[in-house]
Amino acid sequence: MSGYFITFEGGEGAGKTSILHSLEKKLKHLGYDVITTREPGGIDIAEKIRSIILNTEHTAMDGRTEALLYAAARRQHLVEKVLPALEQGKIILCDRFIDSSLAYQGYARGLGIDEVFAINQFAIQDYMPDLTLFFDIEPKKGLARIAANKDRERNRLDLENIDFHEKVYQAYKMLIDRFPERIHVIDADQTMEKVAEDSLTLITQYLSNKK
C-alpha cells in the first residue's frame, strides 16, 4: 500500500488533537495528500460504539467489554476508512490507535498488555501504524490542562483517578521501549507552536526518507 498511517498517542491533555489538526493544514500546504481521523470513531459505526464506551452513565462497563468495544470500533474504522485511504496513497493522521488500548486497557485496567494485543491482532490483522508520535507530558500537568479547558467533552475515562492516568503514562513508556523504531517521543510540555513545529519536522523527515 502506498500511503502512510501515522498515529498520535498520549495521555489526557497532551494536546495531540489540536496538534493533529494544525499539522493537517501545514502538511496540506506542503502539498501532501492528508486525511485526519480518530479512534474510537472516525466513521458512523465506530462513532456509535464510541458513544457507548465513553458514556459517563456506563459506570458498570466491565474492563474486557470495554477492550472488546475499542477493538470492534478499530476493526470497522480500519476496513472502512484507513485501508482504502492507504490504498489511495494518502497520509492518514489518526488520533489514537492500538497503543491506546495497550496502555489504557492492557496496563492501566490490568487486563495485560499481551492479552489486549492478542484481541487487537484479531481486529487489525497485522496492520500496524507506520509511525507513531507520543506526546509526552506528565499526567498531572495534562489533567490540569483539561480542567482549565471548559469546552472539552468529559468522558467516562476522565472519571478515573490520577493513579490510573499515571499507569497509562508508565505503559506508554514501556511501549516506547517495545517499539523503538515506530514510536517517537515529542515533548508536549512546551507551547503548542513548538510542539506542532517538532511534530512537523519529525513527520516531514520520515516522509522524505521514504521517498
Q: What distances in angstroms separate CA 133 from CA 30, 32, 72, 97, 161, one per listed residue? A: 20, 18, 23, 11, 25
Of 29-37, 76-84, 95-103, 127-135: span binding ligand TMP (CB under 6 A): 95-103
**Contacting ligand TMP (CB under 6 A), which of 77, 90, 96, 165?**
96
Residue 93: half-sphere exposure toward Cβ, Cα within 13 Å: 25
Cβ-closest residue to ligand TMP?
Answer: 104
3-state helix, strand, coil in the chain (%, to 5): 60, 15, 30
Q: What is the spatial distance between Cα 34 and Cα 121, in angstroms, rounded to a whole number?
A: 26
- Decide: 172 and 134 in contact? Cβ < 8 Å: yes
Indicate whether 106 belongs to the interface with ligand TMP (CB under 6 A): no
Indicate whether 39 belongs to the interface with ligand TMP (CB under 6 A): yes
CB of 77 to ligand TMP, least distance (A): 10
Of 23-31, 101-109, 126-134, 189-197: span binding ligand TMP (CB under 6 A): 101-109
Indicate whether 76 belongs to the interface with ligand TMP (CB under 6 A): no
User: Count residues contacting ligand TMP (CB under 6 A)?
Assistant: 11
Q: What is the spatial distance between Cα 66 and Cα 145, in angstroms, rounded to a whole number?
A: 26
List contacts with ligand TMP (CB under 6 A): 39-40, 70, 95-96, 100-101, 104-105, 155, 157
